[in-house]
Every structure is written in C-alpha cells, then in structure tokens.
Structure 1
C-alpha cells in the first residue's frame, strides 16, 4: 500500500512593499539661520496683593474646563512653581509651540481660595502679567 501523496502548493510569496526613494541626506540643505531650538524666552510678572503665603504653579497643558469656565491644568505638565512674595518678574523659557500657560494659585491658608488662569502666549513682546 502506500499513502496518498497529495500535491501541496507552496504559499504565494508575500508582495514586496514598494520602496519610496528619498533624497540622499547630503542633498538636504537648511537655511543658514535654521535651528532645532524651539525655546522662547518670556517674562512673567506677578503682582500679588494678598497676604497669605502660597505657591503659583505654572503648567503647559490643560486637563479640563469647569462648568464656570475655569481651565484646570494637567498636573503632569508642571513647568515651575513661583512664590509671589519672593519674586516679582520671572524669566522663563517656554516651548514656542505652546499656545498657553496655565497658572494655579495654591494658598497656604484657608482664608484664601485657589485660583486658576489661562495665559494665552500671543504677546509679540513676550511679556505677561498676573494680578491677584
């Protein structure tokens, strides 16, 4: 006897992906003033008229907006913390692609409420101010 030797067809070869030929990197020319640096210096002045110690946290991203329109910052995007009673004007380097900074005032006393601000980064002179 013998087993039936069925014929097997080999699988079809996978199609070869089409390859797009890119320019050789030696052919890429950048403008003389090109830079990968997207940092931008801004000045933030803080005029705090309260009497409570506290911290002003600055963030680069918003998490959500409350029913009354306050923008609450994403806590994972904190840029820095300022102490208004210790500093007036602060120079910061921000990412030039950011459209806003989000500020949150956290007082160290229950006599004062937390406050939140959304600061649009659109001043041509890069100077911004918070009064509270």
Structure 2
C-alpha cells in the first residue's frame, strides 16, 4: 500500500504532524489487485458495517502529455479516502468502474456464503 497526500508527496508514517495536517484533505491509497479485500476492510468497512456512500470510479493515468489508461478506484466519502488499484488499467473509464464494482460485489457475495462451523467444532482460544 502506498499512501500519499493530494499533492502526490508521500506521507511519513512516523511524522504525526503530517498526518494531522492532511486529516481533512483527500487521501489517496494505491493497492494491487490482489489486495482488494484488504482495501475493502480498511477503508469501506467500519466495525463490519460498510459505508453505503462509497462511489466506484476510474483514475486517469497519464504518460507524458497524453492520457494512456484508467485505473479502477473507489472513493469513501466518510473518510475522504480514494483507493486506486494501481496494477490494473483499462482503455475506457466505464470498464474500469465496472471492474472494481464487480470485484467488490464478488467479495461481498463470497463472504456472505461463508458460514461458521457449529460452536462445538470451533477452536477455543
């Protein structure tokens, strides 16, 4: 995960002043496609309750002076976080939006299908 300020400058994890300075500003987080579940848990869900205001989008990727592709992304307004899937790119904005929406939907459906074993079979610990 790469964390940066809206200006594109990396935020130091050790510098508390930098974190306080950017708490109200938009924060961007870059993840790989295999980390979507982690991004979902850290940004969309708060104590197991998802932020229903989450919006799916696409961030343009610029190479030089021309627009090259779009990265799938989602924005969580409650936290003012934008999460970008940096290792995926699409030629069209609508394809990037559809891809991230489908991945989040699949994640939710797969988690709904998981059931806990009966209490007598659970590990105690």
Q: Aligning the two structures, in what range does the TM-score lie when normalised by the shorter sequence?
A: under 0.3
TM-score, normalised relative to structure 2: 0.25
More helix, by proportion: 2
Asked which structure has the greater RCO (Cα within 8 Å, sep 6+), the reply is: 1
TM-score, normalised relative to structure 1: 0.24
More strand, by proportion: 1
